[in-house]
A and B are shown apart, each in its own frame.
Chain A
């Protein structure tokens, strides 16, 4: 009888954890409604059972996957010269401080004091782009070609390189919009924008979060109700435990 009661607590506990994880994911999605290039996450759950002496014991529920949704977010014009949005599946390649290459959709680039193109966290693009001093004008077209004008003459300075993955949902979120490859994501394919299915560059614009606010709100209301019901179920199990202990007395 005590075993059976213990299982009731295990099941109730896993259920509370699952609902808690859902609430956290939904509030995270909603909190990043205005974060450029943010990708909303979706959780998936599995029923857990364990076999013991040919008998199946119910163990409640567990989180099986937290999948980022890599669908395109809306592109918003900002007018900032170095804000770059990607219309397509490509990702910027960034040099991480530890030597690895990170991948990001976040296109808020700036020039540092030496004319290097850096992102919000100060990470360089791969390959690095450096604007020489004294140029009169810089332009980036949809193909990622950077043209500079010096002394009245224009010349092509560099071309951006993008990467995409066979399975972007398998990328590991490093925070700040930077992702790392994993065995699930597969190896990156590198090419210039507009080539090999990378998508085009839109300069002076940013990709906004792809969060479906209405859907997330509806889900949040549903999960809050689910949480209350899960607590009620645990309370009922707890009352049964109390009644059982009162038998000895």
Chain B
């Protein structure tokens, strides 16, 4: 009976956790380059039940019992988000693989948020002022609207040679990336491979929108709420049953 209470309580916690991830996804439905988090369902440990006859060697098994629900692991869904045409010359969207590499005080971080700006010295920077990295470090483009080719090469008006090339990066296993807020991912100790021009596809004047499945998220929330309601009910029922047992002993 107590086991049932634990099972219900752990299920409530797990559903709150799910609701939190879904809310965070929904809050970021208009955050450029945002990748939604998916909570994977996870069953708790299954315990073998045996009938205890009180005699050694005579405890026949009667099946298993799973009485907890663990907080599910979350996974980032790295699928491509839809492209929005903004016509802003410094809005860049990556099509397919790779991340923009940006220089932060803590080291190189990765992002899919392509809303870049220019600092007063003409460097390409993120909204937080971090340098976008090219093949040879920060990219200084100066004044004027650049033309940015799909391989990331930046051409300034009137010039035939590129001033630099945006060098995208990738890691062998994206599941090792840690989101750290500000639309950045921390590669940690994983080496960031700089991608060759032939594998880079950048669209200028576009923004990669969040890949949040908005209607799916709201439906999942409703489902989480109903499960929460049902579980809360079973918990109260068990509580009442326990109360009756206590009343008998009174």
A contact residues vs B (CB 8 Å cutoff): 1, 4-5, 7-8, 11-12, 14-15, 18-19, 22, 42, 44-51, 56, 58-61, 64-65, 67, 69, 166-167, 169-170, 183-187, 197, 223, 226, 229-230, 232-233, 236-237, 239-240, 243-244, 246-247
**Also in contact, A47 and B143, with CB within 8 A (given A166-B122, A236-B221, A244-B12):** no
Contact present for B181 and A166 (CB under 8 Å): no
> How close is B44's CB to chain A, nearest CB, in angstroms?
17
B residues in contact with A47, CB < 8 Å: 24, 27-28, 31, 34, 179, 181-183
In the complex, whether B187 has a CB less than 8 A from a CB of chain A is no
Q: Which of A47, A236, A240 has the most CB of B within 10 A?
A: A47
Contact present for A239 and B225 (CB under 8 Å): yes
Cα distance A232–B22 when bound, in Å?
12
Contact present for A229 and B26 (CB under 8 Å): yes
> How close is B226's CB to chain A, nearest CB, in angstroms?
10
Contact of B19 among A170, A223, A240 (CB under 8 A): A240
Contact of A169 among B21, B118, B128 (CB under 8 A): B118
24 A-B pairs whose Cβ atoms sit less than 8 Å apart in the complex: A4-B20, A5-B16, A8-B20, A15-B26, A44-B127, A45-B31, A47-B31, A47-B179, A48-B181, A56-B178, A60-B28, A166-B122, A167-B117, A167-B120, A170-B117, A184-B119, A197-B143, A230-B26, A232-B221, A233-B22, A236-B224, A240-B15, A240-B19, A246-B236
In the complex, whether B235 has a CB less than 8 A from a CB of chain A is yes
Contact of A1 among B16, B118, B122 (CB under 8 A): B16
**Also in contact, A229 and B218, with CB within 8 A (given A4-B20, A60-B24):** yes
> How close is B145's CB to chain A, nearest CB, in angstroms?
9
Cα distance A153–B125 when bound, in Å?
54
Contact present for B179 and A56 (CB under 8 Å): yes
Query: 7 tightest A-B contacts by CB?
Result: A186-B120, A15-B27, A49-B181, A58-B24, A64-B127, A60-B27, A167-B118
B residues in contact with A244, CB < 8 Å: 12, 232
Contact present for B88 and A42 (CB under 8 Å): yes
Contact present for B27 and A240 (CB under 8 Å): no
Of chain A, the residue at the smallest CB distance from B180 is A49
Cα distance A121–B124 when bound, in Å?
36
Contact present for B128 and A61 (CB under 8 Å): no
Contact present for B120 and A187 (CB under 8 Å): yes
Contact present for B221 and A45 (CB under 8 Å): no
Contact present for A166 and B23 (CB under 8 Å): no
In the complex, whether B214 has a CB less than 8 A from a CB of chain A is yes
Contact of A8 among B16, B32, B142, B222 (CB under 8 A): B16
In the complex, whether B121 has a CB less than 8 A from a CB of chain A is yes
In the complex, whether B40 has a CB less than 8 A from a CB of chain A is no
Mark contacts of B24-38 with chain A using CB atoms, 8 A cut-off: 1 yes-contact digit, 0 otherwise: 101111111010000
Cα distance A37–B16 when bound, in Å?
49
Of chain A, the residue at the smallest CB distance from B178 is A56
In the complex, whether B170 has a CB less than 8 A from a CB of chain A is no
B residues in contact with A58, CB < 8 Å: 20-21, 23-24
